[in-house]
């Protein structure tokens, strides 16, 4: 359980420190989701529950990752790079 907490905190630290590149931000968010999935899986295993909710969580996290990558591709096509500060749509 400490490993999942350490993974979650380290993912948040990387997310907060790598604010320039959108790809690194998306990767750190996926790392945070992976740590939450591991803690959910270990919690359900400890309580002897079924793993159906973990499959729903995994499906939603895959959809979130695909949506983030599609936003990244559309931003790179319009702006030419993945620097967050050069996006004119954010201002």
**Domains in the chain: ranges and CATH:** 2-86 (1.10.287.3510)
How far apart are the C-alpha atoms of 78 and 32, rounded to whole Å? Answer: 28
3-state helix/strand/coil string of 5-73: HHHHHHHHHHHHHCCCEHHHHHHHHHHHHHHHHHHHHHHHHHCCCCCHHHHHHHHHHHHHHHHHHHHHH
Average pLDDT in the 3-32 region? 88
Mean pLDDT of the chain: 84
The confidence score (pLDDT) of residue 74 equals 82
Q: What is the pTM for the complete model shown? A: 0.79
Q: Kindly state the helix (H) or strand (E) to which residue 75 belongs, with its residue range.
A: helix 52-79
Could you read off the pLDDT of 69-91 as tens digits, one per residue? Answer: 888 888 778 777 767 666 555 55
The residue behind tokens 């790809």 is 23
């Amino acid at each position: 359980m400490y490993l999942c907490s350490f993974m979650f905190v380290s993912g948040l630290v990387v997310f907060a420190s790598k604010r320039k590149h959108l790809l690194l931000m998306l990767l750190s968010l996926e790392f945070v989701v992976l740590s939450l999935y591991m803690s959910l899986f270990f919690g359900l295993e400890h309580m002897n529950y079924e793993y159906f909710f973990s499959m729903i969580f995994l499906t939603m996290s895959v959809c979130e990752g695909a949506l983030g990558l599609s936003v990244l591709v559309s931003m790179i096509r319009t702006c030419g790079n993945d620097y967050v500060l050069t996006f004119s749509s954010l201002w």
